[in-house]
């Protein structure tokens, strides 16, 4: 008789009834609408109907669920984290869709846009009827967003934006793009309708990771928006980095969802697969792998839960989010790689979820801050010395 790592460590009892119910609701949607198709979507390189999927997620209430007002759920950070865990247990691309919609595009508008822009965009985004994307990363500037080349200049009562953004989730299906650009008074954010003349989004092909989500290049060629589209108060990197902290927090939970799925698959396989006349789970080296994987998973869940409770109580500092993102993604990808070895050759087949999760985590490892950047953030706090330059 096998024991799930959650049961082994007594994790379930650490969550409230509401948190457990959210997990079950998200898991049910994934089982009904995503899991039967996810292997094919990954193989095809795109979901069948990303906008329809976004509407389903909106109906469930997970889009911007941790934001207050404007049709958003107003739920706790821990409840949002639990949802992210279940979404990524299905697929990292699914959690990325939700994170970009809620923690990047919606949060940026909710936190920094004018009241009129909030009313214009947020209710539809919460319902999944309006899709958003977040344009910060550029072809030549990822870890150093301060060097971005996208520029917005005033022209009469309007702003005119020129530039390119790269690796933008939801870009080709978005109705509104949050664009960060250099201006004469620092970096500023803009809510740009994607139907604006001069705005184009090109879907990025030939990805070997996050294949079941839409990733795009954004091109802005003389895109003209009114003053109302500009975020009125925030200047500099404070704006985009505040949004990234929200998204990184979701990753702390989500990565453990991928790890959980890989462990569950490897655990089942270990008791069903026989070699040398016995299940491979009866061999010491396989048991060591399962024990080590489960240990790191349990520690990752405890870290995510601690950060969630802390965020709900007092808020999180950026370095605390970095601590969680660095550890949990790094351990999750190692768990998936180890699970792959338990499955042997079957581990590279899309008939099993392990290689898909491992490939996806290769992207999660470097987006929203690379391992190197999060390491240096922690090092700076531990030593008081800035080693970025």
Instruction: Please give the chain's pLDDT, 389 residues, in tens.
Output: 899 999 999 999 999 999 999 999 999 999 999 999 999 999 999 899 999 999 999 999 999 999 999 999 999 999 999 999 999 999 999 999 999 999 999 999 999 999 999 999 999 999 999 999 999 999 998 888 889 999 999 999 999 999 999 999 999 999 999 999 999 999 999 999 999 999 999 999 999 999 999 999 999 999 999 999 999 999 999 999 898 899 999 999 999 999 999 999 999 999 999 999 999 999 999 999 999 999 999 999 999 999 999 999 999 999 999 999 999 999 999 999 999 999 999 999 999 999 999 999 999 999 988 999 999 999 999 999 999 87
Residue ranges per domain, the chain?
A: 5-127, 132-235, 238-383
Q: What is the topology classification, in CATH, of domain 238-383?
A: Butyryl-CoA Dehydrogenase, subunit A; domain 3 (1.20.140)
Q: Residue 368's pLDDT is what?
A: 87
**Cα(169)–Cα(172) distance, integer angstroms:** 8
Q: How far separated are the first and last CA of the chain, in Å rounded?
A: 54
What is the total residue count of the chain?
A: 389
**Cα(50)–Cα(2) distance, integer angstroms:** 37
Buried b (16+ CB within 10 A) or exposed e, 309-332: eebbeeebebebbbbbbbbbbbbb
Is residue 44 helix, strand or coil? helix
Single out the residue of 128, 94, 42 nearest to residue 250, CA to CA. 94
* Phi-psi group of 302: left, alpha or beta (phi > 0 → left; psi -120 to 50 → alpha; rest → beta): alpha
**Which residues have a catalytic role annotated?**
368
Q: Are 23 and 14 in contact (CB under 8 A)?
A: no
**Cα(291)–Cα(283) distance, integer angstroms:** 12
Q: Residue 317's pLDDT is what?
A: 94
Q: What contacts 22, CB < 8 A, 6 or more positions away?
A: 75, 79, 82, 83, 86
Q: Are 303 and 256 in contact (CB under 8 A)?
A: no
- DSSP state for residue 104 in the 8-state scheme: I
Which CATH superfamily includes the segment(s) 132-235? Butyryl-CoA Dehydrogenase, subunit A, domain 2 (2.40.110.10)
Q: Residue 388's pLDDT is what?
A: 82
Could you say which of 1.10.3210.10, 3.30.870.10, 1.10.540.10, 1.10.760.10 is the CATH number of the domain covering 5-127?
1.10.540.10
**Cα(189)–Cα(242) distance, integer angstroms:** 12
Would strands 151-155 and 186-193 be described as parallel, antiparallel, or unpaired?
A: unpaired
Q: Residue 42's pLDDT is what?
A: 96
Q: Which two three-digit tokens encode residue 342?
A: 């338990």
Q: Residue 339's pLDDT is what?
A: 98
Q: Residue 141's pLDDT is what?
A: 85
């Amino acid at each position: 008789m096998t024991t799930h790592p959650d049961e082994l460590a007594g994790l379930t009892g650490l969550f409230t009834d509401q948190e457990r119910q959210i997990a079950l609701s998200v898991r049910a949607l994934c089982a009904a609408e995503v899991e039967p198709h996810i292997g094919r979507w990954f193989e095809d390189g795109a979901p069948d109907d990303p906008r329809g999927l976004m509407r389903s997620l909106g109906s469930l209430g997970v889009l911007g669920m941790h934001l207050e007002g404007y049709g958003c759920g107003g739920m706790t950070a821990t409840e949002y984290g639990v949802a992210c865990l279940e979404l990524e247990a299905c697929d990292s691309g699914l959690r990325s869709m939700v994170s970009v919609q809620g923690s990047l595009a919606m949060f940026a508008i909710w936190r920094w846009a004018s009241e009129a822009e909030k009313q214009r965009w947020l209710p539809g985004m919460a319902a999944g009827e309006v899709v958003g994307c977040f344009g910060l990363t550029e072809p030549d500037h990822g870890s150093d967003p301060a060097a971005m080349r996208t520029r917005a200049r005033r022209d009469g009562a309007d702003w005119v934006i020129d530039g390119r953004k790269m690796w933008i989730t939801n870009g080709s299906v978005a109705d509104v793009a949050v664009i960060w650009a250099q201006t004469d008074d620092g970096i500023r954010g803009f809510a740009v309708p994607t139907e604006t003349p001069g705005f184009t989004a090109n879907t990025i092909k030939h990805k070997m990771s996050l294949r079941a989500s839409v990733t795009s290049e954004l091109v802005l060629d003389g895109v003209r928006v009114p003053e109302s589209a500009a975020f009125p108060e925030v200047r500099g990197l404070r704006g985009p980095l505040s949004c990234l902290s929200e998204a990184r927090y979701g990753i702390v939970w989500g990565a453990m969802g991928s790890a959980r799925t890989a462990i569950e698959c490897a655990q089942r396989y270990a008791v069903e697969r026989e070699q040398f006349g016995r299940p491979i789970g009866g061999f010491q080296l396989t048991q060591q792998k399962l024990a080590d994987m489960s240990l790191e998973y349990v520690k990752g869940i405890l870290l995510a839960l601690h950060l969630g409770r802390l965020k709900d109580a007092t808020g999180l500092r950026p370095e605390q989010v970095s601590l969680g993102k660095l550890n949990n993604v790094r351990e999750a990808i190692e768990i998936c790689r180890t699970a792959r070895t338990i499955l042997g050759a079957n581990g590279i087949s899309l008939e099993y979820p392990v290689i898909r999760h491992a490939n996806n985590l290769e992207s999660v490892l470097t987006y929203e801050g690379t391992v190197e950047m999060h390491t240096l953030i922690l090092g700076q706090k531990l030593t008081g010395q800035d080693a970025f330059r």
